[in-house]
Structure 1
Amino acid sequence: MHAIHWPEGYVPGFTDNFCSNEVIVAGLTAAEVWPFLATPSHWPTYYANSANVRFHGGGPVLAAGDRFYFETFGFPVEAQCNEFVPPADGQPGRVAWHGWAGEPGADDRLDVHHAWLVEDLSGGRVRIFTQETQQGRPAAELARAKPNPMINGHQDWLDGLVAATRQAKGS
């Protein structure tokens, strides 16, 4: 199975917060899942913790370099897509963005790298894997929270993504 590509400054273990979630499900393909992840306007339809998605040019499907905005976990997030590779025969789909909230240097500044892999596995299964690292005081506070809101929120995102794909497929 494949792994996330981490940019400098966002490697897990060297950040203020890290979360990792994964599902492996049968009966879906990476190609079927991909449009629901690659099109941010779809997110609020299956993930209640995202809202008010809009692009600053580009869209509606993400592309490397695209700037976009959405709200999640109570944060207004500006983001830039820094990796976008649709799934292809034998290769996972990869999408990642750098997101930020607050002014640089401010006490409430939050910087994140959120990455996803969507890959076909043997036996008609798909793996949907997401990890996020975070820097800043809000990230450190989230890391101490029990239950962990990032782990739980991202699990909701994964579960919603699978449900939306199944519904669209009619299964």
Structure 2
Amino acid sequence: MEDAPMVEDAATRWRTHDPRTHGHPEDDHAARDRLAREVPARHNEVIVRGVTAAAVWHYLTDTSTWESYYDNVADISFPQGGGPVLRDGLRFSFGTFGFPPLDAHVVEFQAPADGVPGRLSWTAKQDGTPEERLDVPHAWLVEDLPGGRVRVLTQETQIGRPAAEPARQTPKPMLNGHQAWLDGFVAAASK
């Protein structure tokens, strides 16, 4: 796939994160580095015909549609107002994978346009003790391809002890859950 935009590896970004200037002061860099290696970035990708990036983008960014095609999300809210359509800088929360609602913040939002892929990224966090803390950077890329095809790529890293056990399970619940999310909104957009 020549010239395909890359989604930055959030785990790599995290491993270069300096705890002296960011994050929780009681954490040490070596412990976070070990967790990042144990819970690497996961990615899922689909390339489909018969749908447009704009149609897929609607189902990805309009959170009021999520529960209609994805059964692993609940309790979507917008504590500071806004929504249900995501936009740059928006704060929202949602529950997934059995975690209580995570505080999320949209950090990148670029709708797809002619020759320009759509890019959406958010960070989701759960604060608490080191056993409870979770940091989840999640990125999406949606682009029209030649031949009436669309590529959707998602990459997520779950950093923290609550994510370590699911990462070791087989089958992989996070990987399979994200594939179900992709398949769900592509099917919804294809109707």
Q: TM-score scaled to structure 1, two decimals?
A: 0.90
Amino acid at match of 2:142: V
1:78 equivalenced with 2:103 (yes/no):
yes
Q: Distance in 2 between matches of 1:10 and 1:126?
A: 32
Q: CA deviation at 1:15?
A: 6.6
1:102-117 pair list within 5 angstroms: 102-103=127-128, 105-117=129-141
Which of 86, 89, 97 lines up with 2:114 in the alignment?
89
Gaps of 5+ in 2: 17-35
Amino acid at match of 1:24: I
Is 1:30–1:126's contact at 8 Å kept on the other side of the alignment?
Answer: yes
- CA distances 1:55-110 after superposition (whole Å, capped 9, x unpaired): 1222121111111011100012110011111001111111111001242x431211
Give 3-state SS (helix, strand or coil) of 1:126's partner: strand
Which of 142, 146, 169 lines up with 1:145 in the alignment?
169
RMSD: 1.7
Aligned residues between the structures:
165
Extract structure 1 runs of 4+ deviating beyond 4 A. Answer: none
Q: Distance in 2 between matches of 1:10 and 1:68?
A: 26
Which of 39, 52, 71 lines up with 2:62 in the alignment?
39
- CA distances 1:115-169 after superposition (whole Å, capped 9, x unpaired): 10000001000001101012111222121111110110001001101111112xx
Amino acid at match of 2:118: G
- Which residue does the alignment assign to 1:3? 6
Give % identity: 54
Is 1:43–1:50's contact at 8 Å kept on the other side of the alignment?
Answer: yes
1:50 equivalenced with 2:50 (yes/no):
no
The structure with more radius of gyration: 2
Which structure has the highest helix share of the two? 2
Amino acid at match of 1:132: E
Q: TM-score scaled to structure 2, two decimals?
A: 0.81
Amino acid at match of 2:48: V
1:20 equivalenced with 2:43 (yes/no):
yes
Give 3-state SS (helix, strand or coil) of 1:135's partner: coil
Which of 179, 182, 191 lines up with 1:158 in the alignment?
182
Comparing both chains, which one has the higher relative contact order based on Cα–Cα distances under 8 Å and sequence gaps of 6 or more? 1
